[in-house]
Chain A
Amino acid sequence: MNAPTPALVARPERLRLVGQRRQILAVVHQRLMFGLIVYGAIIAIIALRLLWLAAFGDHAGRRGALSALIPPRGDIVDRDGQPLASSIDVWSIALQPTRVIGDKLELARNLAKLMPEKDEASYFAMIRSGKPFFYLRRRASPDLVEAVNALGEPGMALERTPDRLYPQTSLAAHVLGFTDIDGHGSAGAERAFDKQLSDPATRGTPITLSISSKVQQALEHELAAAMAEFSAIGAAGVVMDVHTGEVLAMTSLPTLNPNIAGQGSPEARFNRATLGVYELGSTFKPFTVGMAMDSGVVKSVGQIYNCPKEFHYGKVVVHDTHPFGRACSVAEIMEESSNIGTAQIALQVGATRQRAFLQKMGFMAPVAIELRERGRTLTPGTNWGEVATMTVGFGHGIAVTPLHLATGYATLFNGGVYHPATILKVDKYHPVGAGHRVFTEETSYKSRALLRLVVMKGTGKNADAPGYRIGGKTGTAEKIVGGHYTSASVVTTFAGVFPMDEPRYVIVAMLDDPKATTKTFGFHTAGWNVAPLVGRTVSRIAPMLGVRPDMNRDANMAEVMPFVHEKEK
């Protein structure tokens, strides 16, 4: 009950409850305030959230994750940016038998007509089976897809799946490699850089190889033509930059199409340039002479050695293809590729020094390159006596890969510094590999005139392309058939360096078992088959590489010419 108040014209006061009613009122007030606070808090939260969203939130209609085109697997491009391997979406045709409505026989007949690899009966069996899914063709051409779609059958599933495409087909096939059905690399650069190509963070930027497509194509074409002409069973070629170690071209024949890698033979999948080891014969002689010059054994290019028709050392007899039968100088030994002279030089160098040099050049280990397919070299091993030293000196006791040879020549002619070969382009993100010195500058300089002499007047005359100043060394090595060397079957190599007045590029070409033809007058030595091949290739690729043919320039032949007999006319 309210307290009695005078019913006068007094200002109305606030209600003053007394006693229990007052308490109840207080409680009611508290509860109201509590509710108000809760309500205010909720509104405040909503308002703050709205403010935050307005400032930082995405608005409706935003399509995420398309800010850049990131392919499902990284691209591989060549040094000029031409794509060599890229991902595309291919159509695949699949059959879902549970969803087939319509005439099964008719469908089977149509499918057999469109995709004749299976016959009608097997298609019908597939349709009638209860299995949920069959792949009919994993890479279907758009015309076929259109035709299958025109059948109007919901049981045919046409979907796009990412797949790997090599637009240049068999160009640089061994360098690029191929992927398996799951999209993982199984050979070549696809395998070596698989992590970088699959990782979403890095697959946006393409991998730039050091390969130049034009040089690669020229080399492959010439090698294929020579292989066909001389009926060789295999061929390999490498073009390298001597200063950076970049591999500008690397090929191995027979080649394959990496788009359909499964259909190639194991012979075609074998990379002869990095995996195959061969005794490379006389192409080793410049290394021996270089070792001798560095060790002080050979003090001048005119140093004389006795070159009889046969050289006996213990039980071993060394023969020459063009025996001198007289004393000859180091220059002449190199010019006519004399085994006898080189054997003597190698003996003077000695096994220890020879092994040390080969170790420094990387010949005792698998070749240094990013690819995983690397062959192990065959060396005399523990049996490295004097006879082994001799034979290694002229390239017969040791089997290395063509890429080893190219790296070795690059080392000899770039001033004597070894750099590992690399398949990635050298730029600011990928500098030249750390190197170490193997030969002295002077040895490197003197070797230029020696090898230019071989091409000007010696066994490599057919390799000379006018104006390009090619120097190099031929090598014809007998293959081992049935446990012993046979002269019927040879491996011919030519290792060339150009331009010889200032070496920049090395090219190595190898033919496995070339046969003699009428045009070569029955000879199958390197000077007849692989040397002209190198000459033609260099005249094609040198302008692309910036080497201008100039008849007025040449290596400093005054270093060697005084020590070479003029041939009697």
Chain B
Amino acid sequence: MSKAESDGQHLARLLETELQGKVALRRVSYSDRELADPIAKGRLVASLESAKLVVALGDESSRLVLGEVENARVYFVAASASGQTLRGGSVSCLFTYSAEDLLRALPEKAKRGVLVLYTPGYEPLLPEIKAAAAKAGAQVTAKSVAGRRQLPDAVRDTEDMTKAIWVLGDPILDEGASFEFLTERALALGLPLMTAAAGRVARGAALASVAAPESLTRRAAQAIAALAAGGKAGGLALAPAGGPIIYNAALKDRLGLSPRAPQWQKAQ
């Protein structure tokens, strides 16, 4: 079983425990093989579409739901991406990373100019990020990027003031050619690149944060219970502080990172 699978199972168990007796959950699991089988995939998507609320745990499930589910309400937990691809009656998302943890992990000089890049749809996160910046003693500048083509200019326009770059996880910015551009640019300028998905750290980013499963599922359970009672889940939210920081050991000295055990963990 991969780490993603075991993490997903662990989150599912914690969530079921938190909601036991309060909300009836039905666990749905699937494999790559089933997704490649159009019969099995059709049955899976049909069952999700009819659910009153779909809770997607982790990036793998989030990608499936983002790609296939159109009408059901969706609550993403421990996802690293959200944004304008979400449609329909959804959507709420509890991201897997903590703004406060990430900003505190930066070297002091990097805190003085954090460029936050985001795509339309991520605006609701900005107040939480600014509040976390105030707590961490950081200064952030948020810049909306409409798409991949606008990314280079968005970075170059603010290079003079930028001491760190933080990408809020939309796949448009956080994957493929965009991610390669950001890692190269950050490396060339000697800036830490903070990313939403821990997996990106091994591929060139400097830092990522992962929520502690217990506090994450506690917050998710509160939101799900609120939804079950007919209330609103609160749009997009970041994970509570206190989880691990994933760092790129190869960039530690160059960027002046100061890993602190046990919270800091090397990217695998």
Specify whether A and B are partners: no
